[in-house]
């Protein structure tokens, strides 16, 4: 396994891989890898001849008051895990490689980027779509892997690839959870022991919503009201948003006709956690 820091070095290697007619699978990450990331990597390994994982904590997707500085970084451990999974290359650029002086160009997916998390993190998805476009242009993969954990991100990337005729197939991998149901996230390390216990309330609220839908309660207002009550039983929890939206345009729906995306962002202490599930009308 190679760790490559320079864009030109990676381009030369990718050229060779392409000449050998090998397919390339790509997993973009910000590092601090956990089982969730590894699931994406394992799927990429299964489906491709050559696997590239990028590790880059992308400054343009963090707001000025967000955790860019304290975001966990651990290349040694990440490299150990990637080697174990049979990754061929870790692309590990520094900020100057990705954003040299004079950088001016951004990619923005309108509308979708301003809803859900976008309402509270202005500029976040513009940062994501810009860096993913750059990484796609550098790595030139056949397939790229994203997690359902960041459902809005996956929907936006799919839209972008379609709109800009980017010849890459996007694969979305189910959410990997801890034993108690908490969705794995690099940010879970911020939680103290009490908060870690309380954090499971996000998963429990998704389960409650699923149960309600199964029982025939399809009015989203009713579902949201109930799960807000449940989350408020934890003292450390502060809801940023809970929405049930259309899976394509991400706009709120009033009733689950067929399917709806239940998405939420909840602060547990000072840590912002996100989670989501797809609600399906059993009678549709």
* Positions marked active-site: 37
Q: Does 132 bind ligand AMP (CB under 6 A)?
A: no
Applying CB under 6 A, what is the total number of residues that bind ligand AMP?
17
261 touching ligand AMP, by CB under 6 A = no
Q: Which of 24, 26, 29, 129 binds ligand AMP (CB under 6 A)?
A: 29
Could you tell me if 252 and 244 are in contact, meaning their C-beta atoms sit under 8 angstroms apart?
A: yes
Parallel/antiparallel/unpaired status of strands 24-29 and 143-147: parallel
At residue 96's C-alpha, the angle toward residues 82 and 11, to 5°, is 55
Handedness of CA 112, 109, 153, 24 (dihedral sign): positive
> For tokens 């993969």, what's the residue?
141
**Half-sphere exposure at residue 139, Cβ-oriented, CA atoms within 13 angstroms:** 34
242 near ligand AMP, rule: CB under 6 A: no
| Minimum distance from residue 148 beta carbon to ligand AMP (Å) | 6
Which of 30, 87, 135, 256: binder of ligand AMP (CB under 6 A)?
30
Please give the structure tokens belonging to residue 255.
């009733």
CA-nearest of 67, 136, 143 to 107 is 136
Kindly state whether residue 141 participates in binding ligand AMP, applying the rule CB under 6 A: no
Q: Give 23-71 as a 3 state SS string.
A: CEEEEEECCCCCHHHHHHHHHHHHHCCEEEEEECCCHHHCCCCCCCCCC
Residue 56 touching ligand AMP (CB under 6 A)? no
Taking CB under 6 A as the criterion, the residue among 146, 155, 199, 237 binding ligand AMP is 146
How many CB atoms neighbour CB 194 within 10 A? Answer: 13
Nearer to ligand AMP, 186 or 236 (CB): 186
Contact between 147 and ligand AMP (CB under 6 A)? yes
The residue of the chain with the least Cβ separation from ligand AMP equals: 147
Only one of the segments 28-36, 62-70, 241-249, 254-262 lies at the binding site for ligand AMP (rule: CB under 6 A); that segment is 28-36
Give the residue with the Cβ less far from ligand AMP, 172 or 217: 172
Q: How far apart are CA 40 and CA 104, in angstroms?
A: 31
Nearest CB to ligand AMP, comparing residues 39 and 134: 39
Q: Looking at beta carbons only, is 140 or 185 nearer to ligand AMP?
A: 185
- Cα(first)–Cα(last) distance of the chain, in Å? 48
Q: Which residue, 184 or 245, has its beta carbon nearer to ligand AMP?
A: 184
The verdict on 78 binding ligand AMP (CB under 6 A) reads no
Instruction: For residues 37 and 173, give the distance between their C-alpha atoms in angstroms, rounded to a whole number.
Output: 10
Site map 170..209 versus ligand AMP, x via CB under 6 A? ---x-xx------xxxx-----------------------
In whole angstroms, what is the distance from residue 110 CA to residue 19 CA?
37
Q: Among 10, 37, 38, 131, which residue sits at the site for ligand AMP (rule: CB under 6 A)? A: 37
* CB-nearer residue toward ligand AMP: 37 or 126: 37
Binding site residues, ligand AMP, CB under 6 A: 29-30, 36-37, 39-40, 146-147, 149-150, 173, 175-176, 183-186
């Amino acid at each position: 396994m190679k760790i490559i820091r320079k864009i030109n070095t990676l381009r030369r290697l990718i050229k060779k891989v392409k000449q050998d007619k090998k397919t390339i699978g790509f997993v973009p990450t910000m590092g601090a890898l956990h089982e969730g990331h590894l699931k994406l990597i394992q799927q990429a390994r299964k489906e491709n001849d050559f696997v590239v994982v990028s590790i880059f904590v992308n400054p343009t997707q963090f707001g000025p008051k967000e955790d860019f500085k304290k975001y966990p970084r651990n290349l040694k451990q990440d490299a150990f895990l990637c080697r174990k999974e049979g990754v061929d290359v870790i692309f590990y650029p520094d900020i100057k490689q990705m954003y040299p002086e004079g950088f001016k160009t951004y990619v923005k997916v309108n509308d979708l980027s301003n809803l859900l998390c976008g309402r509270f993190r202005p500029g976040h998805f513009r940062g994501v779509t810009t860096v993913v476009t750059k990484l796609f242009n550098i790595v030139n993969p056949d397939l790229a892997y994203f997690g359902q954990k960041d459902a809005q991100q996956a929907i936006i990337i799919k839209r972008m690839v379609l709109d800009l005729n980017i010849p890459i197939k996007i694969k979305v991998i189910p959410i990997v959870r801890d034993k108690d149901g908490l969705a794995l996230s690099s940010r879970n390390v911020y939680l103290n022991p009490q908060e870690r216990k309380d954090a499971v309330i996000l998963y429990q609220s998704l389960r409650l919503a699923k149960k309600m839908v199964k029982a025939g309660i399809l009015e989203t207002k009713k579902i949201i009201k109930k799960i807000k009550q449940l989350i408020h039983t934890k003292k450390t929890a502060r809801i940023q948003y809970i929405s049930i939206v259309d899976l394509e345009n991400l706009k709120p729906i009033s009733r689950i006709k067929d399917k709806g995306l239940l998405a939420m962002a909840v602060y547990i202490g000072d840590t912002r956690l996100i989670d989501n599930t797809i609600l399906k009308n059993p009678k549709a």
